[in-house]
């Protein structure tokens, strides 16, 4: 399924989005989350909270108090572009499904290393060691 990229005209606070980059452990600092292998997954659900055109910020499910939410920003790839290559649009239903899957997995207290989220195309977090190359 080809993602529908977030465009400048889509931006609004609360917009449900997905992360389209590679698995990224860098913006997760909490020792407990790191210990269980939490990363910013491809397809990770979140909601836009800041709509500055060149620094869109997202509250990522399960990473609300992490740099992934309060420091990581997404910008347009070029002055002539109108979309964000690392952010895809989600429906409310799909956002809720992904958020629930992530919360259920976190509540199970099992290690996430090697976990393949049910929304992914099969990429395991261990398949990628280069953090967020497509921001």
Average pLDDT over residues 9-26: 92
Please check the confidence at residue 127 and state whether its pLDDT lies above 50: no
Which pLDDT belongs to residue 2?
64
Which pLDDT belongs to residue 87?
96
Which pLDDT belongs to residue 82?
92
**Per-residue pLDDT tens over the stretch 63-98:** 999 999 999 999 998 888 899 999 999 999 999 999
In terms of Cβ atoms closer than 10 Å to its own Cβ (0-12, 13-18, 19+), residue 6 is: buried
Q: Which of 80, 27, 34, 29 is nearest to 58 (CA)?
A: 27
pTM greater than 0.85 (yes/no):
no
Domain ranges for the chain: 5-116
Please check the confidence at residue 53 and state whether its pLDDT lies above 60: yes
Instruction: Take residue 117 and report the two structure tokens written for it.
Output: 């989220």
Average pLDDT over residues 16-39: 87
Q: Which of 97, 128, 87, 113 is nearest to 33 (CA)?
A: 113
Instruction: Take residue 52 and report the two structure tokens written for it.
Output: 């500055």
């Amino acid at each position: 399924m080809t993602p529908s990229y977030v465009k400048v005209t889509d931006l609004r606070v609360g917009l449900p989005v997905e992360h389209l980059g590679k698995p990224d452990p860098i913006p997760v600092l909490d020792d407990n989350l790191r210990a269980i292998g939490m990363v910013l997954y491809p397809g990770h659900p979140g909601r836009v909270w800041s709509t500055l055109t060149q620094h869109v910020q997202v509250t990522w499910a399960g990473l609300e108090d992490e740099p992934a939410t309060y420091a990581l920003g997404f910008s347009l790839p070029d002055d002539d572009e109108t979309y964000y290559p690392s952010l895809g649009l989600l429906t409310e239903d799909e956002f809720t499904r992904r958020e629930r899957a992530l919360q259920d997995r976190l509540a199970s207290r099992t290690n996430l290393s090697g976990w393949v989220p049910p929304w992914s195309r099969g990429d395991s977090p261990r398949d990628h060691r280069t953090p967020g190359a497509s921001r």
